[in-house]
Amino acid sequence: MRFAGKRAVVTGGASGIGRATALRLADEGASVIVADIDGEAGAALAAASGGRIAFRHTDVTRADEIEALMQAADAAGGLDIVFNNAGAGGAREPIDQLSPDDWDRTMALLLRSVALGIRYAAPLMARRGGGAIVNTASVSALGAGYAPTAYSTAKAGVLHLTKIAAADLAAAHIRVNAVVPGFITTAIFTRHLDIEGARREQADGMIAGAAAKAQPIPRAGRPEDIAAAVAFLASEDASFITGTHILVDGGLTIGTRASWDPAVPSMLTALEAFR
């Protein structure tokens, strides 16, 4: 019960990584406020939680709603943990086709919301003597080819923001870290493609199968894998960790496929032929 007596806010908590994290924090004793625009899923999660989880409808692209969310958590007994996680795929076009409005909407959802989550949580945490903030980044922050341009750029911004915020808030005893998911099977992929119903289920199955072959660990990543890392970073077990990130990607970013898959020829194996 690492979080007994603690209060946490999880944005984007009605599904996927956010839902798994809200449940993990609650299972370890925290009182959790889940914030999401999906009212039906959020209310169902709260109703099934036995009072451990409350739901608050929140659009994280609106500064006033983020501020109200943090204030509500504080008024309910204090704010100790924030997981800035809400997100979606955003604009899909490459840089030479992106519209300014689509770029701005993607940045508002994926980067500005994280900055404002930190902004409005930090003073409340400081009054309690400190706290822990965890932000969701992505392997797409580390290189090209993992996700669309705007999404990847926003997630790179989240990683740098995490470092800067950790420095800004160190004197207030607020730790700020990030989790960097790899290929995690959530609805973000099919939502990104606007797929519904039976076709969504079929697509999710295909994605899970592809994910199991995409990295050295031969299974698809699960939301619970990320939840475990977030819970660690939010806990006192990580009390000496700030301004960094945990990569939870099954080894996806170890190197080229040839670095871990013996069936794929590499430059080293090619050179062996000349020995």
Catalytic residues: 151
Helices 149-169, 113-127: axis angle to 10 degrees equals 20
- Adjacent-strand bridge partners of 133: 82, 176
Q: Cα separations (Å) of 30 from 10, 27, 33, 64, 69?
A: 11, 7, 10, 25, 17
Determine the Cα–Cα distance for residues 48 and 273; give it in Å rounded to an integer: 62
Q: Where are the alpha helices (DSSP H) in the chain?
A: 16-27, 39-47, 63-75, 100-107, 113-127, 149-169, 188-192, 197-211, 223-234, 267-272
Decide if 203 contacts 193 (C-beta within 8 A): yes
